[in-house]
């Protein structure tokens, strides 16, 4: 068993919803083993208001959350943490040419639909953010349960990729 804290970077294009939600989940629920960060290739410059509304309702701290560029985490950048894992949570960021990351982290794509692009009224939009939270929480929980220190790189990579294709269990529906 290792006492190492693993640094995880969640990437999205705008860094205003999905990656911020993932960072928040990991830092609150799995902080004894992980330190999470989030960034975007083209950050919007602000966290989406429905992201902070959702996180507050779920008793997450939102102080300090900000939309930032992935350049803050690139190799050679002073103060950039050594990254162990990098996960893209949107399809656009997965297809972009990423900077070189310090530490040669393992990476995987865990695409989730963009709740910020949800249409409809306030209830439908809030539901899209809640669904994003549910999917990311499920994937992060699976990841956090892996025996990382005892897996070889090939097995670990296989698990990381598999998590990205995990379809979260459907919500219970009352008939």
154 within a domain of the structure (yes/no): yes
* Residue 78 confidence (pLDDT): 87
* pLDDT at residue 173 greater than cutoff 60: no
**For residue 146, what are the β-bridge partners?**
none
Range 56-82 average pLDDT: 92
Average pLDDT score over residue span 4-24 = 95
Q: Is residue 174 part of a domain?
A: no
**Would residue 85 count as lying in a domain?**
yes
Residue 136 domain-assigned? yes
102-114, pLDDT tens digit by residue? 778 999 999 999 9
Do 55 and 24 contact (CB within 8 A), yes or no?
A: yes
């Amino acid at each position: 068993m290792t006492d190492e804290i693993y640094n995880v970077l969640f990437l999205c294009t705008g860094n205003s919803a999905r990656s911020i939600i993932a960072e928040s989940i990991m830092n609150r629920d799995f902080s004894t083993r992980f330190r999470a960060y989030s960034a975007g290739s083209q950050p919007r410059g602000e966290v989406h208001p429905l992201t902070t509304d959702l996180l507050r309702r779920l008793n997450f701290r939102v102080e300090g959350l900000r939309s930032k560029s992935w350049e803050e985490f690139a190799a050679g950048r002073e103060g950039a943490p050594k990254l162990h894992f990098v996960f893209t949570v949107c399809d656009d960021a997965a297809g972009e040419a990423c900077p070189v990351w310090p530490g040669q982290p393992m990476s995987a794509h865990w695409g989730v639909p963009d709740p910020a692009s949800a249409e409809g009224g306030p209830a439908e939009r809030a539901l899209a953010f809640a669904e994003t939270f549910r999917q990311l929480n499920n994937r992060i929980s699976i990841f956090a349960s892996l025996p990382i220190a005892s897996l070889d790189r090939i097995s670990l990579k296989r698990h990381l990729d598999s998590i990205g294709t995990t379809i979260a269990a459907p919500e219970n529906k009352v008939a």
